[in-house]
Structure 1
Amino acid sequence: MSETRFRDMLQQYAHEGSQNSVNAIVPTRTLRTRARPTSVATDSQRGETKHSDQSAAPSKPKSTISNPSKKRKASSKYAPPSKYQHLSPLTDILAPELIAVFVGTNPGIRTAAQGHAYAHPSNQFWKLLHSSGCTDERLRPEQDVELPARYLLGNTNIVERPTKDAAELSKAEMSDGAPVLEEKCRKWRPECVCIVGKGIWEAIFRHRHGRNPTKAEFHWGWQDEKENMGRIADIGEDGYQGAKVFVTTSTSGLAASLKPAEKEAIWKPFGEWCKERRISRNWPSSKGQTPNQPEV
């Protein structure tokens, strides 16, 4: 090969090499510039970055996560009488001059179907009646008819018609039941009415005063004498001064605002009073005296 030819090839090689070097350098520098924000994190750093991003973002409350397997139970609302017209009202258990008459809200479905007071297994009425001292043994719902003869106690409700729960009643029919209770007290003349639930007393108070009692006005236990029910004043010497009112807790299994021990503490004074009143009447007497048969 001639010297001239060799020199030309050498210059061409040098020229192409310089071009390739430029092409090789420029993309590399460009890639490094672009990769710099995303290539600096190691695996552990990426975990930290991810954790940091999660902590910065607002967390979704657990309560908002829907669980199809746990559907929220719908609240009860007013139900017309036609819904439970196949169920019969509960018969009052009343007799003249009892020590006390218990006033419930209205019969539940189980109670109406069985025809005995407070028949649902979750209801604590019969348990509290015994633990407070109102009865010396725990009665069964089907023994409700024995209350007058054995303990001088009776039972009625502010609303007659059965429903699943009290939420299916209207405020109007609750209030309208108050004068009916007043008339029952005038007829049978019990010493006391025991209101089994705050809502019942609020309905009676609403009928009398046109409003619910304030927090300051409401309290458990014995109420003021002016709130006696069925008062018959100035009727000769036999004027009935009305039944004293004792307000105690609801015994429904749905009423969970108070703990069992708190309910028992509220019921206890009433049970003690019932025992004292039976003793003062010498009841049951040694002669086997029994009160008049309850109303059927």
Structure 2
Amino acid sequence: MSGVNFKEMLQQYAHEESSASTATVGPMRVLRPRARPTSMTTNSKEKNTRSDHSAEKPKSAPITTKSSKKRKAPSKYAPPSKYQHLSPLTDILAPDLIAVFVGTNPGIRTAAQGHAYAHPSNQFWKLLHSSGCTDERLRPDQDVELPARYLLGNTNIVERPTKDAAELSKAEMSDGAPVLEDKCREWQPECVCIVGKGIWEAVFRHRHGKNPSKAEFHWGWQDEKENIGRIADIGEDGYQGAKVFVTTSTSGLAASLKPAEKEAIWKPFGDWCKERRVARNWPPAQPHGQAQDLSEG
């Protein structure tokens, strides 16, 4: 190998190997990546944004409940001029009745119709029947039949009509107590049935200068010393006053007691009324089936 450099020989050999390899290998196939579908070419930022929106739930409409509705403002004192176009309710009274019901005052519907407890929501006539005070459920326009058929009457502690009792003043309620005393002295019923705690509080306040305490108040029959209309100057054989039975209000606005609780309080009074009518043999037999007229003294 004279005259031939070893390094040159090595380079020549490498060149020959490279040429041989190129000769034996066919054309190279280039693999290009397939095009992705359009939905898959979204970049990561767009993908995250879409994901965030898809996770959001549609906002539902606000739920409206009864408690969220605006409540009516409570009633307050109303002067007599507000309802001066309405007439007071006529008392239904007669001599020697077994009981007289004492309400607060006529409501607007009652005053307009001229019959006691005329508002459809008032439970007076229903409780009168369910307790046994009457043997059938009367309509408001049958209130005038109470004395002749059942020896019962009706009056109020305040005469003037209002929407509800809140439109009366405490002074009006208390001032009605001596008027009730006078009515009892005149007609001398066996009993007065106070239809509502507030009425009894007014009578008690007039007599004792304060409302009854929790210990002093109870439903039902009251102590004999609380009789109304006693005539003191005619001796023990004279009129000893009307016994007092305190029962619940029948107004549809009075919801502090459940219907079953009201009926339980009314029931003893209804039983007593039936017993007193039996004791008096009432109604007496009439030639033509007509009840006795008590409208004349």
Q: TM over 0.5: same fold? A: yes
Listed as ranges, the gaps of 5+ residues in structure 1 are 1-41, 47-61
Q: Distance in 2 between matches of 1:164 and 1:294?
A: 33
Q: Distance in 1 between matches of 2:213 and 2:97?
A: 31
Are 2:195 and 2:247, in contact at CA under 8 Å, matched by a contact in 1? yes
Name the Cα RMSD after superposition. Answer: 2.6
In our comparison, the structure showing a higher alpha carbon Rg is: 2
Partner of 2:295: 293
Shift in Å, 1:133 = 0.1
Partner of 1:282: 281
Partner of 2:19: none
How far does the alpha carbon of each residue in 1:183-208 deviate from its partner, in whole angstroms, 9 at most, with x for none? 00000000000000000000000000
Q: Structure 1 residues 271 and 225, CA, compared in 2 at 3 Å: closer, same or farther? A: same
Partner of 1:106: 105
Correspondence list, 1:230-249, <5 A: 230-236=229-235, 238-249=237-248
Q: Distance in 2 between matches of 1:261 and 1:283?
A: 29
Partner of 1:273: 272
Shift in Å, 1:291 = 4.8
Partner of 1:223: 222
Q: 284-293 or 271-280: which moved more?
A: 284-293
Structure 1 stretches of at least 4 aligned residues deviating more than 4 Å after TM superposition: none
Listed as ranges, the gaps of 5+ residues in structure 2 are 1-47, 53-62
Amino acid at match of 2:115: H
Partner of 1:202: 201
Partner of 2:85: 86
Shift in Å, 1:290 = 1.8
Higher helix fraction (1 or 2)? 1
Are 2:149 and 2:291, in contact at CA under 8 Å, matched by a contact in 1? no
How far does the alpha carbon of each residue in 1:94-152 deviate from its partner, in whole angstroms, 9 at most, with x for none? 00010000000000000000000000000000000000000000000000000000000
How far does the alpha carbon of each residue in 1:36-65 deviate from its partner, in whole angstroms, 9 at most, with x for none? xxxxxx99xx9xxxxxxxxxxxxxxx99xx
Q: Distance in 2 between matches of 1:255 and 1:247?
A: 15
Q: 261-270 or 238-247: which moved more?
A: 238-247
Are 1:221 and 1:247, in contact at CA under 8 Å, matched by a contact in 2? yes
Q: Distance in 2 between matches of 1:123 and 1:165?
A: 12
How far does the alpha carbon of each residue in 1:151-201 deviate from its partner, in whole angstroms, 9 at most, with x for none? 000000000000000000000000000000000000000000000000000
Are 1:133 and 1:271, in contact at CA under 8 Å, matched by a contact in 2? yes
3-state SS, counterpart of residue 139 of structure 1: coil
Q: Structure 1 residues 237 and 216, CA, compared in 2 at 3 Å: closer, same or farther? A: closer
Q: Distance in 2 between matches of 1:236 and 1:257?
A: 43
Q: Structure 1 residues 224 and 236, CA, compared in 2 at 3 Å: closer, same or farther? A: closer
Amino acid at match of 2:172: E
3-state SS, counterpart of residue 113 of structure 1: helix
Amino acid at match of 2:144: V
Partner of 1:190: 189
Shift in Å, 1:233 = 2.1
3-state SS, counterpart of residue 211 of structure 1: coil
Shift in Å, 1:247 = 0.1
Partner of 2:167: 168
Shift in Å, 1:234 = 3.8
3-state SS, counterpart of residue 194 of structure 1: strand
Q: Distance in 2 between matches of 1:236 and 1:251?
A: 37
Are 2:75 and 2:166, in contact at CA under 8 Å, matched by a contact in 1? yes
Q: Distance in 1 between matches of 2:139 and 2:234?
A: 40
Q: Distance in 2 between matches of 1:222 and 1:290?
A: 29
Q: Distance in 2 between matches of 1:291 and 1:228?
A: 27
Partner of 2:157: 158
3-state SS, counterpart of residue 130 of structure 2: helix
Q: Distance in 2 between matches of 1:156 and 1:291?
A: 19
Q: Distance in 2 between matches of 1:291 and 1:218?
A: 37
Partner of 1:71: 70
3-state SS, counterpart of residue 274 of structure 2: helix
Are 1:198 and 1:250, in contact at CA under 8 Å, matched by a contact in 2? yes
Q: Distance in 2 between matches of 1:239 and 1:229?
A: 14
Partner of 2:116: 117
Pair 1:128 & 2:130 matched: no
Correspondence list, 1:1-40, <5 A: none
Amino acid at match of 1:149: A
